[in-house]
Structure 1
Amino acid sequence: MNVHSIRTGAAPAGAKQRLGPIVFAVDAAYAVPLATALRSIAENNRSAWPLNIHVIHEGIGEETKRLIFESLPANSAVIQWHPIATLSFASGFSTRPGVSRMTFARILLPQFLPQTCNRALYLDGDILVLTALEQLWNIDLGEAVVGAVPDYWLDNGVSNGPGATGGPRVKRYFNAGILLIDLEKWRNERITERSLDYLDRFPATEYSDQDALNVACDGKWKILDRAWNFQFEPTQAIARIALEQKLAIVHFVTNVKPWKSGSLSPNVAFYDTFRSRTRFALSRWERVRSGLKRAGSRLLARSVLLRAAWSCTKSAMRAQASTSRR
């Protein structure tokens, strides 16, 4: 483990830690979204500076770590980096296309924090924080192990399955991208061990560690307001929704990620307002190239639709002609 401390000296006089640890689990491919997510947290949580950030990672080099740290405002955070090396424990588990194997690292999260730490906030890298997190941090979990938001697509409010694998069903199904965790209860309930046991029995479960965590935490989690993990359709523009509904955390859950070059996400500009203030801001040429790729993708998609429509039209015309001849 190595640490990036406050880079302009000690914490400001009288500074008080009121939030954290905040934990991420990412690989090198997520350097840009990690820096952007951290920037959004820092800008909206000034009263909690210096933020206590922990990053479980694989393959993030020292130069990239430096750039991520320097993407934050001065005096805003201390980052502790925890390498996980090979994820060999998960070598037999599968993930959906486009999902990094780092997703399994959050199962091990308590191992990277001190035993004296009794609460943690886990965040996926593909998020933006739009408000102060203190209200979330102070939610009373009661007897629950974690606080989470139901999954927008996979929770139906009645009875749910962790995938088409024959595994056990759960009462409700949460999205594991934002988790408020009672670490003592997690350890006492052996959530890590039970999740790994589930994955050993169902290594091809469709939603990987999220399925495992839902089974391990079944009946032991508290439903949080959707504003704390707002999952939405990839075609939705989030800026107006965020303003109207006072969203706290927006979560880009599909493969249509707004930071990817040429992305067709309608949230590219919204996301870039945060990215542009990091050390990973796009150059003018990168913006032009991304715009050209986006235009090309839209033209290709339109062409495919036109060809499909013409094919259907020709089929209908042939069918009509055949009927007329009869």
Structure 2
Amino acid sequence: MRDAAFFLIVDDHYLGLGRAVARRLVRLWQIDCHVFLENGGPRQQDDLGEDGVFLQRNLLKGLRPEGLPSTRNWPPIVYDRIFAPAFLTGYRRLIYLDADIYPCFAMPELLKIPLPGGIGAVQDTAAITAPPHLARMDAETWRRSIGLESGRYFNSGMLLIDPEIWQRTDYAAELRSYMAIYGAGVRMPDQDFLNAHFQGRWTELSPRCNFQKALFNYGYEKVFPPVFLHFSSFQKPWLKPDHIDSPHGQFFSVYQEMFAQAGVDHCLYLQKNPESALRKWRTSTRHTLSRWGVVTGKEKRQRREWDEKAALMFQSFAEDGVAHHYADMDFQLVEMPRPRISFDGRYLRRALEVSYDRI
């Protein structure tokens, strides 16, 4: 049995991105990476691989039950991560990654963490301070609406999996049963299901294993140096050049380099729809006013929200440190980080103080 492998799941549009991320993962970690392409075409398994990257075409077709809830931001393909481990049973450990995650460096010790419940994951950072905004309800009501009794809720963008334990479950049957009861309440369908299914059994990892966008403005990258940097919002670093003091501007050239190393044309991933002139003018005006010390209502609201979220986040992480919640590290948080943030006319922003291996 081989030690470990990564896997990603993409459609045609994200195939180039997936292959670029996979190539970087293989070179960093020196283990296999499987890219599952689901585009409705014929099934085909690449048994040879290219530099440790294996392309699996439409192997997952027909495995997910019909009629599962989905949204524009959570299309049906997201369920496929649940079924992919069935094709990767020759490994002791698997790591699933969303395609919008940038691998910063290797952490081999992650592969040795015991997984008595079959899965390791990282708390969904946004859920620390509030339930999903689409839920429009308090946290307790939201949790009940998706069958979650635990106060811990993980993000499914990075999953550490024991494939032998994982395969003991008939996920198609479990999904049908779960959605029959909670389908009307789910907002992030497969993620809600996985949280309910594994509640009380998942091994919690630190934010360094899935450093999500909701953490970017709060200065915790020094506490949890990102192994996997997750651009978990509509702002993606490959779409367009941006302010260098924002993570998306900071990583634009990094993604260009990663695409080039994989032989992928980065222009295929550039944003096609230009921003309206009026919106640009409003953003520029608010940015200029902020630089002059004039605080607009929009900036004032965002800074007030930052203060509220920063306090809740600090309290949560401090409690996690005392309780030794994370299987991959111990830490103590004594003082709340207070990074310098600026207002770009639309959002608060700051560059991340992170390092990553160049290959």
Q: TM-score band, normalised by the shorter chain?
A: 0.5 to 0.7
Unmatched tracts of structure 1, length 5 or more:
1-16, 70-74, 313-326
Please name the residue that 1:10 is paired with. none
Q: State the aligned residue count.
A: 273
SS at match of 1:144: coil
Please name the residue that 2:191 is paired with. 210
1:33 paired to 2:24: no
Whole-angstrom distance in 2 between the partners of 1:137 and 1:162:
36
Please name the residue that 1:225 is paired with. 206
Please name the residue that 1:253 is paired with. 232
Please name the residue that 1:149 is paired with. 122
| Letter in structure 1 aligned against 2:189 | S
| TM-score between the two structures when normalised by the length of structure 2 | 0.62
Whole-angstrom distance in 1 between the partners of 2:141 and 2:87:
27
Whole-angstrom distance in 2 between the partners of 1:192 and 1:91:
10
Whole-angstrom distance in 1 between the partners of 2:221 and 2:283:
29
What's the offset of the Cα at 1:223? 0.5
SS at match of 1:38: helix
* 1:154–1:256 CA distance, 2 compared to 1 (3 A): same
What's the offset of the Cα at 1:190? 4.6
Whole-angstrom distance in 2 between the partners of 1:263 and 1:90:
41
* 1:220–1:292 CA distance, 2 compared to 1 (3 A): closer
| Letter in structure 2 aligned against 1:137 | L
Of all paired residues, the percent bearing the same amino acid is 23
Matches within 5 A, 1:1-326: 19-45=3-29, 48=30, 51-59=31-39, 76-84=51-59, 89-114=64-89, 117-141=91-115, 143-155=116-128, 163=142, 166-171=145-150, 172-190=152-170, 193-204=173-184, 205-233=186-214, 245-261=224-240, 265-266=248-249, 267-282=251-266, 293=274, 299-302=280-283
Instruction: Provide, for residues 166-197 of structure 1, a one-character-per-residue CA deviation record: whole Å limited to 9, x for no partner.
Output: 23123110111111112222233555542442
Whole-angstrom distance in 1 between the partners of 2:272 and 2:11:
26
What's the offset of the Cα at 1:256? 1.1
* 1:164–1:93 CA distance, 2 compared to 1 (3 A): farther
* 1:170–1:42 CA distance, 2 compared to 1 (3 A): same
Instruction: Provide, for residues 8-66 of structure 1, a one-character-per-residue CA deviation record: whole Å limited to 9, x for no partner.
Output: xxxxxxxxx96422111111121232123113213322xx2xx322222212889xx99
Q: Is the 8 A contact 1:20 1:52 kept in 2?
A: yes
Whole-angstrom distance in 2 between the partners of 1:121 and 1:18:
13
Q: Is the 8 A contact 2:26 2:53 kept in 1?
A: no
Instruction: Provide, for residues 252-271 of structure 1, a one-character-per-residue CA deviation record: whole Å limited to 9, x for no partner.
Output: 11111122257783332333
What's the offset of the Cα at 1:78? 4.1
* 1:184–1:261 CA distance, 2 compared to 1 (3 A): same
Larger Rg: 1
* 1:155–1:244 CA distance, 2 compared to 1 (3 A): closer
What's the offset of the Cα at 1:208? 0.7
Please name the residue that 1:7 is paired with. none
Please name the residue that 1:316 is paired with. none
* 1:243–1:189 CA distance, 2 compared to 1 (3 A): same
* 1:198–1:244 CA distance, 2 compared to 1 (3 A): closer
- Over the residues paired in the alignment, what is the CA RMSD in angstroms? 4.2
* 1:86–1:181 CA distance, 2 compared to 1 (3 A): closer
Whole-angstrom distance in 1 between the partners of 2:208 and 2:64:
34
Please name the residue that 2:334 is paired with. none
* 1:102–1:161 CA distance, 2 compared to 1 (3 A): farther
SS at match of 2:283: helix
SS at match of 1:276: helix
SS at match of 1:169: coil
SS at match of 1:247: coil
* 1:208–1:228 CA distance, 2 compared to 1 (3 A): same
Whole-angstrom distance in 2 between the partners of 1:161 and 1:259:
37
Whole-angstrom distance in 1 between the partners of 2:96 and 2:62:
19
| TM-score between the two structures when normalised by the length of structure 1 | 0.67
